[in-house]
Structure 1
Amino acid sequence: MLKDYVIVAKPWIVFANILSACGGFFLAARGQVDPALLGAVLFGTSAVVASACVCNNYIDRDIDTLMERTRRRPLARQAIAPASSLLYALALGLLGVAVLLLGTNLLALAIVLAGFGVYVGVYSLYLKRNSASSTLVGSLAGAAPPLAAYCAVTGRLDPGGLIVLAIFSLWQIPHSYAITIYRLSDYAAAGLPVMPVKHGVSATRKDMLVHIFAFALAAQALPVCGYVGSAYAVAVLGLSLYWFFIAWTGPQAQTEVLWARKLYRISILAIIVLSVMMSLDYAAPVPAG
């Protein structure tokens, strides 16, 4: 039972969001780290993201039974009662909000709650089942943790924060498209109108190319504007170009599934390298006076 409660909170997604939040935090801190603030950001964000994931599992428990990759989820196989999962989500959410309220600032809290609202209220409850644009809107939720972490440090939404928002939102779209192509039969079986189901793999690949290119430009805005150094610029640009090249060449001799899986893995590597380099290769603050 304890394992099921851990699984339903999607710990791998929580970890991914915390990694990106670290990137946003250390980018904004520029070497002047407040350990208490960092702890509050990471713990509070983790709890709210976990709450959102539990809510998503609750909402999707019917369609999860129709998909091979999700049919063994705790709520899909009725290992956890739906009412219990909602209480669990409420407890996680309230804990996260309390920590963010007491340990960060109202702007960071508002961004995290906005991300929760987009993911649960807009994406999970409506768009996922009704529109191919669900990925575009849902991408904003994925950008909330790094943006909130950035604003927890700065206390304001400045150009650096807007760049962080653009980077992580744009990354989310081709990353999600790769998953939908990789698991195309699952999404079709559940009747979900994701991009490759509704418009085909070819149209999805073209859209991926646009967003990977836009991601590469947004990512390079950080060094251009002086927020990070050349090591970040080289590492992230190299991965961005490789990601774009694999998307551009298409499946070729391999199947669409293998091609999409490769794109998915590259996207994971790209966001890891991006977050790590944001954390390590930040530009030092200009001395006062």
Structure 2
Amino acid sequence: MTDLTVQRVSADAPSATVGDFIELLKPRVMSLVVFTGFAGMVVAPGHLHPLLASVAVLCIAVGAGASGAINMWYDRDIDAVMTRTARRPIPTGRVAPDEALAFGVFLAVAAVLVMGVAVNWVAAGILALATLFYVFVYTMWLKRRTPQNIVIGGAAGAFPPMIGWAAVTGGVDVASIALFALIFLWTPPHFWALALFRSGDYARAGVPMLPVVEGPETTKRQMLLYTLLLLPAAVAPFFLGIAGYAYLAGAVVLGLLFVLCAVRVLKSTDDKPAKQMFGFSILYLFLLFALLVGEHAVPGGF
């Protein structure tokens, strides 16, 4: 959809509401991002005043939402032709593209500055890196050019635990990198499960997702490979001393279930197992980080 088309739709569309601007922030995606960032703060060694911790969490949320708004601004043309995204605020004309861009840029800058001034500049720097990586590396460079878009670009979504960790410690170490690696390896099978049953959408939009370019069989094999690589990455926090036996048991059980999902997808001839794996992948990541948080929240959890 061209800007001219969007402007024509806008003329007949109702004016933007607060809900439309909230939708630009991709709140469902933001919720998982915020939770993993919070988990990074909880497991990090040291202490952060509750008020500063709240500010840090808010900055992570606002930064993630800003990235989503800028992504919607840039992808407004392909969003308009995909069933899953056609009702977003910009394709429907409820929010003008320039307004969405200004909104996203303002929030991104504000989140980084507040994080730096109120918490520390290391956390602010990683937050800025995550935003820039998502906007320029994933959205503008990789997404429309390579089927490996989500593999490399997925790093943007893996930064939040490192941001939370840095907010408390003022630095980065092996344990926070392990949390980054966990989400980094989780991202491809998560998104490829979605791409399998939405491949028609991506094909119409000209987005070279792996199922569109290499076909479903290659995608399914890659998904299985990443779930196997995820097994040692998920148990690494235990061996690095930031997780206990409850987490270890949960990581093993959840990891094997994730592998089982991938095997079912590999053997399937319809979309149902892919849809189930996509849903389970979200639960998988949430439960892993919930176990991390729970162990540290309970006295003597280790």
Which TM class, normalised by the smaller chain length?
A: over 0.9
Contact in 1 for aligned 2:37/2:160 (Cα 8 Å)? yes
Deviation at 1:94, TM superposition (A): 2.4
The residue aligned with 1:16 is 32
Q: Does 1:232 align with 2:232?
A: no
Provide the aligned C-alpha RMSD in A.
Answer: 1.8
Q: Which runs of 4+ in 1 moved over 3 A?
A: 251-254, 282-285
Q: What do the CA deviations read for 1:183-206 (whole angstroms, capped 9, x no partner)?
A: 111111111111111111111111
Give the TM-score normalised by the residue count of structure 1: 0.93
Q: Alignment partner for residue 41 of structure 2, among 25, 29, 34?
A: 25
The residue aligned with 1:3 is 19
The residue aligned with 2:163 is 148
Q: What SS class does the counterpart of residue 130 from structure 1 fall into?
A: coil
Which sections of structure 1, spanning at least 5 residues, go unmatched?
none
Structure-2 change in CA distance of 1:253 and 1:47 (3 Å): closer
User: Identity over aligned residues, as a percent?
Assistant: 29
Give the TM-score normalised by the residue count of structure 2: 0.89
Q: What SS class does the counterpart of residue 263 from structure 1 fall into?
A: helix
Deviation at 1:83, TM superposition (A): 1.1
Q: Does 1:276 align with 2:294?
A: no
**C-alpha distance in 2, partners of 1:137/1:251?**
23
The residue aligned with 1:198 is 213
**C-alpha distance in 2, partners of 1:108/1:223?**
24
Contact in 2 for aligned 1:26/1:33 (Cα 8 Å)? no
Deviation at 1:138, TM superposition (A): 1.3
Q: What SS class does the counterpart of residue 226 from structure 1 fall into?
A: coil
Asked which structure has the greater RCO (Cα within 8 Å, sep 6+), the reply is 1
Which sections of structure 2, spanning at least 5 residues, go unmatched?
1-16
Contact in 1 for aligned 2:70/2:105 (Cα 8 Å)? no
**C-alpha distance in 1, partners of 2:113/2:268?**
53
Structure 2 counterpart of 1:213, one-letter code: L
**C-alpha distance in 1, partners of 2:124/2:224?**
33
Deviation at 1:98, TM superposition (A): 2.2
Q: Alignment partner for residue 162 of structure 1, among 148, 153, 177?
A: 177
Structure 2 counterpart of 1:3, one-letter code: G
Q: What SS class does the counterpart of residue 129 from structure 1 fall into?
A: coil
Q: What do the CA deviations read for 1:197-252 (whole angstroms, capped 9, x no partner)?
A: 11111111111112111222111011122211000011121111001012113364
The residue aligned with 2:197 is 182
